[in-house]
Amino acid sequence: ILVNTLTDKTLPELDGLFIGGGFPETHMHQLASNISMRESIKQAIDNGLPTYAECGGLMYLAKNLIWKDERAEMVGVIPADAVMHDKPQGRGYIKLVETEKMPWPADEKRQKNQIINAHEFHYSNLEGLREKGEFAYQVLRGQGIDGEHDGWIYKNLLASYAHMRDTEQNHWAKRFVAFVKANQ
């Protein structure tokens, strides 16, 4: 099911939610004005809906999105503001390793401490992340959320700046689907 966060009013009945990357700053006021969708997503995540948010999705789940001296209220699940900058805050290939907090089930081919190759490209960073929370990844190379971690975990949400590729070494899509099925 494809959901349009600009025009749809609420989430349909779902078993899991993927909020992909993009450029939410270019539609930040439209996203903010769709209060019923923002509340629907927040309630679903607070109620434990398995959710994966990647880069722009992470920004959308923050409290506010700040760009060019303008502020727009976002979903508010992540207790921080996504603040846009003139220069990239994270750009290029990154290397991650999963922490023991990773909520998704292990892939039978993955080995403990196996490096995950991904990429990041974001002009935003999270400011005011008061609740340290738990993280699914330790950053070995790159920026992630705070220079050391990426993959912020809240209930059944994993929100990350990393753009993953589904590869032989990292079947993230299959693992996310297994996580959704295990939480039905």
Residues with catalytic function: 55
Measured CA to CA, the distance from residue 69 to residue 71 in angstroms comes to 7
Residues contacting residue 145 through CB under 8 Å, at least 6 positions apart? 125, 126, 129, 135, 151, 152, 160, 161
How far is 104 from 94, CA to CA, in rounded Å?
A: 20
For the CA atoms of 143, 146, 134, 18, the dihedral, rounded to the nearest 10 degrees, stands at -50
What is the rounded distance in angstroms from the CA atom of residue 122 to the CA atom of residue 87?
9
> Which helix (H) or strand (E) segment is 29 a member of?
helix 28-33
Q: What is the chain's length? A: 184
In the numeric block, which tokens belong to residue 124? 């935003």
Around Cβ 38, how many Cβ atoms within 10 Å? 20
- Is the torsion defined by CA of 163, 167, 172, 173 positive or negative? positive
Q: Which residue, among 48, 52, 54, has the nearest Cα to 183 in the 3D structure?
A: 48
